[in-house]
Structure 1
Amino acid sequence: MRAGSPRLLREINDRAAIDTLLREGPLTRSDLEYVIGLSKPATAQLLTRLEQDGIVVKDGVRGGGRGPRAQLWSVNGAVAHVAAVDLTPHGAEFAIADITGKVLTEYSAPLPVEAGADVAGAFREATVAATASANLALDDLKHVVIGAQGALNPKTGHLESAPHLPGWSGFDLPGKLSEALGVGVTIENDVNLVALEEMISGEAAELRDFVLVWLSEGVGGAVVVGRRLLRGATGGGGEIDWLRIPGTDGGESGRFGDLVDSPAIVELAARHGFRGDTGWAVVGEAVRSGQDGQAFLAALARRVAMGVANVVSVVDPETVLLCGEVSRAGGAVLAGLVAGELHQLVIPRTPVGLASVPGNPVRAGALHSALSVVREQLFGLAPATAVPIS
């Protein structure tokens, strides 16, 4: 056996043990021994070594049966901390978590969006407040991932396709924020993060190729091929709001996003006798109205399908998943209508379903991304999926 091999084997075994404890939670020594395939003495030595290094800690005992109760072990959450952020024109939603993924605090803060604003300074202040609410300091963070409504150009670091966030555009955004915080910052498209989360814990867990369509205040998309996000040369892969589609309802051709954003849906609903302040409000009312809402929902589904058809014709995915407030309000009714309209426009009989990750899927995806970065840095662990996260 060549020199250095025992050390290499220890590193491999340590990595396997840490990965198992992160995935499966607190385990006994015998549980860990079974999963990673080591002998009882080797597993005991491994746990002692990792405990001395501060990587694992004793975490209670497992009861049941007669005799002594078995000691449980888990990864020490205090080893590192991360921040996940959902950035919108209305502000930022933070989640601060430890290395195990346990969320220590959630925090909301308004942030400036206007051109010329000191967005880096404002973001630093908000991040300091968020970490303080978890009884941490800024330098306790190892990485920050921000989900933003735009496309980050990997060559320049500029946030593009984001007219609603003018103050965050026109400069190296991750570079400036990293400098302001003193910690690495990754900027990711918000819908890409939703797609990542769907692959980890949602409807796309078993899919290799799918398209995600976000319908909310605006429209966005993500394209996954072979379980890898299609990002494009300038980061604009999946930016379906800029698709040009034929005129609908007697109108001229235009941008897809202008036909299915919240104001456009509210206007379309008014023509059919439904009134409300947001697209998801009028769609929800139409669904509850049963047959009376069918004409409006069919017209909306036709608009959605015309944009989706362009992507399906090129990508031919296994499934199209609808997400966002409008999609949630429309539910299975809207998804079924979109599928019917889509199948009139393209050859593939692509199913149309609903994304299933609850809560804030953008922030959840950002959290998984941040954890993947730090776990790879500290432990050499591969990301939870094949999707590149930086």
Structure 2
Amino acid sequence: MLREINDRAAIEVLLREGPLTRAELELAIGLSKPATAQLITRLELDNLVVKAGVRGGGRGPRAQLWSANGGLAYVAAVDLTPHVADFVVADVAGTVLAEHQVALPVHEGADVVGTFGEALSHVAEAAGITREELAHVVIGAQGAFDPRTGLLSSAPHIPGWLGFDVPQKLSDELGVDVLIENDVNLVAVEEMSAGKAQDVDDFVMVWLSEGVGGAVVIGRRLLRGATGGGGEIDWMRVPDPATVDTGDVWPEAGARFGNLVDSPAICRLAAAYGIQAGTAWDAVEQAGAQHPFLDDLARRVAGGIANLVAVADPQLVLLCGDTSRAGGENFAGLVQGRLHDLVLPRTPVGCASVQGNAVRAGALQSALAKTREDVFGVVTPTLLGSRRPAVGPSPGKAAVPNTRPAPSPTE
């Protein structure tokens, strides 16, 4: 039992930190020199760790480096949008092996499974493997995924992906295990892994771009809801607090939050202040730091966030997406000020810190978490995607063996 715990602790450190010397690993896991040497020998014999070059730069002999054996399994992650699908393949240690971007047909009636499979095969081949060698594939999509039915909803922009059990059909026809997850949920996963939420238990993410999206994390677990609709904040009903007439007429029950802060609505708000722009982020960039348009926009954003804060009382609110990035910390500060006018908690508001394609990065983190559980027995429950009750491996795909099975409670 203790040996299993030590072995997994060592693998967790190697996966998190990358290649380490015996002395560095000894320090990280708190074992003696002989015990660490025995552990490394044991893991090498089990093919779970491999030599990874040497550490030089100082006096004396160069020290042998050890790393988790990335060649035990491979994963893929995809950011699926109406414009482009962004693929990446990595080994189980997290080393990126290949990337590929391609425009996939998403219109109704398109062969979405076939074209997705071709693109997946292409990037797998570029990584030096076959598509069938992929242990898990995680797709980030702009919509809500219902784990009970496998259906996507709130995704009119990708109609070809609607109306069928997406992960089951892809898994069956492509011969790989496929999961699908809301894109903003995956941004939240990446922020927990490498961003401002690494040490935060409860937080909310608000995505402002062409549309609006959200993610709610409670106890470092994504709140997905009974039907996968957790975080779908665009459907909240809120009043419009803007101080200028934008020509919009909202229902008596209030506007949909998504209709207040999507790109067209923000452009109309900007136009009421004399700012002509084609996108919300262009309008925010043109406005500069002190323009009253930004304060009105902050009022709208804070009005929606106030509902989340009143219910969840998170430690942090993070803004992400093109519009949020254009406004930066200055805009986040305006939102924070207006939020504090509406609710009792003094919740800080900031901008997400992860750079690059955070959706794809979060999908990769989720795929790695699932595969590392299977291969190494290393469990990272926060990062695991939605899963239905286990009924065995998907047809045409054998389960990845867990080479380090968890000890039973009686051991």
Give the TM-score normalised by structure 1.
Answer: 0.91
Matched, 1:366 2:363: yes
Q: How far 1:34 sits from its partner (Å)?
A: 3.6
What amino acid is the match of 1:323?
C
Q: How far 1:359 sits from its partner (Å)?
A: 0.8
Q: Distance in 2 between matches of 1:127 and 1:338?
A: 40
Question: Given that residues 227 and 387 in structure 1 are in contact (C-alpha distance below 8 angstroms), is that contact kept between their aligned partners in structure 2?
Answer: no
Further displaced range: 191-200 or 340-349: 340-349
Report the secondary structure of 2:197's partner residue: coil
Q: In the alignment, which residue of structure 2 is the partner of 1:116?
A: 109
Q: How far 1:67 sits from its partner (Å)?
A: 3.4
Q: Distance in 2 between matches of 1:343 and 1:188?
A: 32
Q: Distance in 1 between matches of 2:116 and 2:385?
A: 21
Q: Deviations over 1:64-111 (max 9, x none)?
A: 444322211112222211111111111211111111111122211111
What amino acid is the match of 1:310?
N
What amino acid is the match of 1:63?
G
Q: How far 1:374 sits from its partner (Å)?
A: 0.3
Q: In the alignment, which residue of structure 1 is the partner of 2:353?
A: 356
Q: In the alignment, which residue of structure 2 is the partner of 1:32?
A: 25
What amino acid is the match of 2:382?
A
Question: Given that residues 369 and 384 in structure 2 are in contact (C-alpha distance below 8 angstroms), is that contact kept between their aligned partners in structure 1?
Answer: no
Residues 165-184 of structure 1: pairs in structure 2 closer than 5 A: 165-184=158-177
Q: In the alignment, which residue of structure 1 is the partner of 2:327?
A: 330
* 1:300 aligned residue (297, 302, 312): 297
Q: Distance in 1 between matches of 2:26 and 2:337?
A: 52
Question: Given that residues 62 and 69 in structure 1 are in contact (C-alpha distance below 8 angstroms), is that contact kept between their aligned partners in structure 2?
Answer: yes
What amino acid is the match of 2:305?
V
**In structure 2, do the counterparts of structure 1 residues 65 and 208 end up closer, same or farther at CA, with 3 Å as the change threshold?**
closer
What amino acid is the match of 1:61?
V
Q: In the alignment, which residue of structure 2 is the partner of 1:222?
A: 215
Q: Deviations over 1:10-41 (max 9, x none)?
A: 44333222222112221222332343344544
Report the secondary structure of 1:18's partner residue: helix
Q: In the alignment, which residue of structure 1 is the partner of 2:308?
A: 311
Q: Distance in 2 between matches of 1:139 and 1:308?
A: 43
Q: Distance in 1 between matches of 2:79 and 2:281?
A: 20
Q: Distance in 2 between matches of 1:166 and 1:82?
A: 26
Q: Distance in 1 between matches of 2:141 and 2:260?
A: 22
**In structure 2, do the counterparts of structure 1 residues 244 and 65 end up closer, same or farther at CA, with 3 Å as the change threshold?**
closer
Report the secondary structure of 2:382's partner residue: coil
What are the ranges of 5 or more consecutive residues in structure 1 without an aligned counterpart?
Answer: 1-7
Q: How far 1:312 sits from its partner (Å)?
A: 1.5
Report the secondary structure of 1:124's partner residue: helix
Question: Given that residues 240 and 300 in structure 2 are in contact (C-alpha distance below 8 angstroms), is that contact kept between their aligned partners in structure 1?
Answer: no
Q: Distance in 2 between matches of 1:147 and 1:368?
A: 12
Structure 1 vs Structure 2 CA RMSD: 1.8
Percent identical residues: 65
What amino acid is the match of 2:62?
R
Q: Distance in 2 between matches of 1:29 and 1:248?
A: 60
Q: Distance in 2 between matches of 1:299 and 1:316?
A: 24
Q: Distance in 1 between matches of 2:75 and 2:297?
A: 40
Residues 119-198 of structure 1: pairs in structure 2 closer than 5 A: 119-198=112-191
Q: Deviations over 1:184-237 (max 9, x none)?
A: 111111111111111121111221111110001110001111212111110101
Q: Deviations over 1:283-328 (max 9, x none)?
A: 11112xx44xx12111211111111122122112222111111000
Report the secondary structure of 1:386's partner residue: helix
Q: Deviations over 1:40-61 (max 9, x none)?
A: 4443343334334433221111
Q: Distance in 2 between matches of 1:98 and 1:223?
A: 29
Further displaced range: 63-72 or 104-113: 63-72
Q: In the alignment, which residue of structure 2 is the partner of 1:255?
A: 256
Give the TM-score normalised by structure 2.
Answer: 0.87
What is the number of residues matched between the two proteins? 378
Q: Distance in 1 between matches of 2:307 and 2:35?
A: 57
Question: Given that residues 185 and 214 in structure 2 are in contact (C-alpha distance below 8 angstroms), is that contact kept between their aligned partners in structure 1?
Answer: yes
Q: Distance in 2 between matches of 1:22 and 1:192?
A: 23
Further displaced range: 260-269 or 52-61: 52-61
**In structure 2, do the counterparts of structure 1 residues 65 and 225 end up closer, same or farther at CA, with 3 Å as the change threshold?**
closer
Q: Which segments of structure 1 move beyond 6 Å, counting only runs of 4 or more?
A: none
Q: Distance in 2 between matches of 1:354 and 1:190?
A: 17
Q: In the alignment, which residue of structure 1 is the partner of 2:389?
A: none
Q: In the alignment, which residue of structure 1 is the partner of 2:373?
A: 376
Question: Given that residues 83 and 145 in structure 1 are in contact (C-alpha distance below 8 angstroms), is that contact kept between their aligned partners in structure 2?
Answer: yes
Residues 236-275 of structure 1: pairs in structure 2 closer than 5 A: 236-249=229-242, 251-252=249-250, 253-275=254-276
What are the ranges of 5 or more consecutive residues in structure 2 without an aligned counterpart?
Answer: 387-411
